[in-house]
Chain A
Amino acid sequence: MKRLFVIFAALSFLMFLGGCQKAKEQASKEPIKVGVILPLTGKHAKFGEIEKKSFQMAVEEINSGQGVNGRKIQLLIEDTQGKPDVGRSAVEKLITQDKVVMIGGGYSSSVTYAAAGVAINKGFPFLVNTGSADKITEPSSFTPSGQRVDNLKKNLKKEKDKAKIAVLKEEIAALEKKSAEESRKLMDRFSIFRLNPPVSEYASGLEGFLAKVVKPKTAVILNENSLFGTKGAKAFEKSCKKLGIKVLMKESYDAGAVDFKPLLAKVKEANPDVVYMISYLMDASLLMRQSMELKMNPKLFAGAAAGFTLPEFAENAGKASEKVVSATLWHESLSIPGARAYYDKFVKRYNKPTEYHGAEAYSAMYVIADVLKRAKSYKPADIKKALSETDMMTVFGPVKFTSYGKKIHQNKLETYVVQWINGKLKMIWPENLAKDKYVYPVNWIKERQ
């Protein structure tokens, strides 16, 4: 009986060892799971679609090559529906249930900011490639005091009483100190990295175009009352101040309005030189269509990227999209190695053009693969370390995460200007990089007949 037990024990020990061996072997062959959050349904579905396609294209290329140190990458794409709450639970699910090693994607500022909160709480690496509100890479905005400082600063602007202003200023200074301390504590958990420039820099390329070519005196800003919209409007207001452009009107609207005509009629009456709009796809199309119905004729219609560069914008707005100018973060004609190749591959495979959102996603995938190659292990801390050491070239431009201002882990890039010319998105600015000549001045009424 005793002997039998010994044999049994020995056998089971051997089996256990064997099992371990097998598990290890499997682990080294099993694909590495990477989570991606994108809006695949809902109002931002078209942005999600172009990014999903680009992510998939990139991951297939990586897997058909060497993969990551011989292992393949498996993408788990979660739908955020364009809603911050769904975005949060998507990140939770990816981290706790699917056990991914890191997270990518992140479309629309509101969703990305909410999702980033979850990732930071867990100290989990999240490479944002589109969500663009400045505060996503500002640790102070994730601390309670930092958020209160923002609120108090708003009050400070409205306050007129001098005594109260002094009190407020004191309070802000104290809170800022506290928030700096809190941010420092947060620092080792702050795991958000961003590939794309923040929204405050979106119009930097457009600024040049306005200053050198259009030379407007007045402008009107229309924006969706979301995080991306309000921050973008504020940033452009600053640009206007810098260029000496008078902002006649700054109006926000609720996404999904049926009728923009009253608003546009008001813009028409204000008669600005430039109409600058920060909108997502459907509102952007409707705004342009209805501006055509009202025969508006400013010097320039300009969009702040997002809804204005997607191929669906031209489809939905039809001839109302013609000659509309937009800020952008990328264009296939840029002399970045691989940019044109990516564009051609995308067109060949999906039979439709791609733009900056796609390039962001495609590059993010390559950055992720590169990070996973260099990481010592797939623990969050090691991946974070590898992310911060990133220094590579992608089709979107060079990627290197730096700190400036309040931001950390932020990639710094140029922005450009594009124009819809004969139904095609052409890059027109900066002049030394652009392959196509801008069309200006534009007679919008004639253009749209």
Chain B
Amino acid sequence: MDLFLQTLVSGFLKGGLYALVGIGMTLIMGVMGIINLAHGQLMMVAMYVTFVCFTYLGIDPYVSLLLSMPILFLIGIIVQKYLLNPLLRTETILPENQVLMTVGIGMVLTEVMRFIFTSDYKSVKTSYSNATFFLGNISFSVPLLIDLAFIILLTLGLFWFLNRTDIGRSIRATAQDKEAAILMGVNSEKITYITFGIGAALVAAAGTLLVPVYYLFPDIGGDFTRRAFIICILGGLGSTVGAIFGGITLGLAEAFGATYVAMEFEDIIGLIIFIIVLLFLPGGFKRLIKI
């Protein structure tokens, strides 16, 4: 029983982080209709921002959220405004080219970071990196619990933003029907880069929150792009609530896979679920919960 509960706790805490990674991607997917394959790489950049803040400026990782999120927000805006939107205007180019562009951006980000920091593994060790407390025999990692609190706050903030603010409503309108939104006077181009910025800022938060418990290196992005993609498919493309479900499902699946099948197959289990969902529930969880 302890083993089951411990796996559940680990999987859930990891799933929370995954959810945050997935929400950013699904938001971008909903509005632009493209898969951002540089998503994990943006996260990696945020991790390096946190690393620099901690190592050279002595800023606590949680405080550096205030830096990494705006920086990535700006990077997101620049990417969308100057690299992706111009492709839209060229009529002869297929929309898929934007996706290819994100792949390129991801590679550039990875190599730039490798150039600056080399591919050595870095880690940020805080006093609370390994703090735990026990409920019965179940160990809870303190940093991951703090992460969970941040994730809940950020998600609630995002929902408030999407439902209650003007820009948020415009984002939702654009996601639902772009042409109708333009007719209603929404500046859809501005919305695209704000959305990309928010998506990047959210994944930046995930990266920063992960740093105290993990380590970082330039190639870390690809793994998280893959996971974000799986989460989006699980949740249903463009659904934020779906992404939360998707993230937690993936976290739990990996944890239970590691406990009851084999740690070696951790990644495979995520991919098997991905295929099963594609086969039997093509719309993802979105179809079940209708959000």
Contacts and interface: CB of A to CB of B under 8 A. Distances in A.
B91 interface: no
B259 A254 contact: no
B263 A292 contact: no
Interface in A245-304: 251-254, 256-263, 265-266, 268-269, 281-282, 285-286, 289, 292-295
Interface stretch (A37-45, A206-214, A330-338): A37-45
A74 interface: no
Contacts of A18: none
B166 interface: no
B267 A41 contact: no
B258 interface: yes
Interface in B134-160: 134, 139, 141
A45 B263 CA distance: 25
Nearest to A259: B14
Contacts of B176: none
Contacts of A318: 125, 130
Contact of B119 (A81, A257, A282): A81
B269 to A, nearest CB: 11
A225 interface: yes
Nearest to B224: A258
Interface residues on B, range: 35 or more
A203 interface: no
Given A282-B215, A294-B6, A294-B139, A316 B258 contact: no
Contacts of B266: 253-254, 257
A265 B267 contact: no
Given A225-B264, A252-B263, A252-B264, A293 B130 contact: yes
Contacts of A261: 6-7, 10, 139, 255
B130 A259 contact: no
Contacts of A257: 263, 266
B31 to A, nearest CB: 29
B245 interface: no
A262 B263 contact: yes
A262 B255 contact: yes
A325 interface: no
Contact of B139 (A43, A251, A282, A293): A293
A contact residues, range: 35 or more
A318 B141 CA distance: 16
A266 B5 CA distance: 11
A293 B141 contact: yes
Nearest to A222: B263
Contacts, number: 98
A195 interface: no
Interface string B199-219: 000000000001000110100
B126 to A, nearest CB: 11
A266 B3 contact: yes
B125 A262 contact: no
Contact of A45 (B120, B214, B256, B267): B120
B177 interface: no
A212 to B, nearest CB: 32
Given A259-B10, A293-B132, A316-B125, A251 B3 contact: no
A189 to B, nearest CB: 34
Interface of A: 41-43, 45-46, 81, 225, 251-254, 256-263, 265-266, 268-269, 281-282, 285-286, 289, 292-295, 316, 318, 320
29 contacts: A42-B119, A42-B120, A42-B217, A43-B119, A43-B217, A45-B118, A46-B121, A81-B119, A251-B263, A252-B264, A254-B266, A259-B254, A259-B255, A260-B263, A262-B255, A262-B256, A263-B259, A263-B263, A265-B2, A265-B3, A268-B3, A281-B121, A282-B123, A282-B215, A292-B130, A293-B139, A294-B132, A294-B139, A316-B125
Given A41-B119, A252-B262, 14 more contacts: A42-B119, A81-B119, A253-B263, A254-B264, A254-B267, A259-B10, A261-B10, A262-B263, A265-B7, A293-B130, A293-B141, A294-B6, A295-B134, A316-B125
> Shortest 9 CB-CB distances between A and B: which pairs?
A262-B258, A265-B6, A262-B259, A253-B263, A261-B10, A41-B119, A263-B263, A293-B132, A45-B120
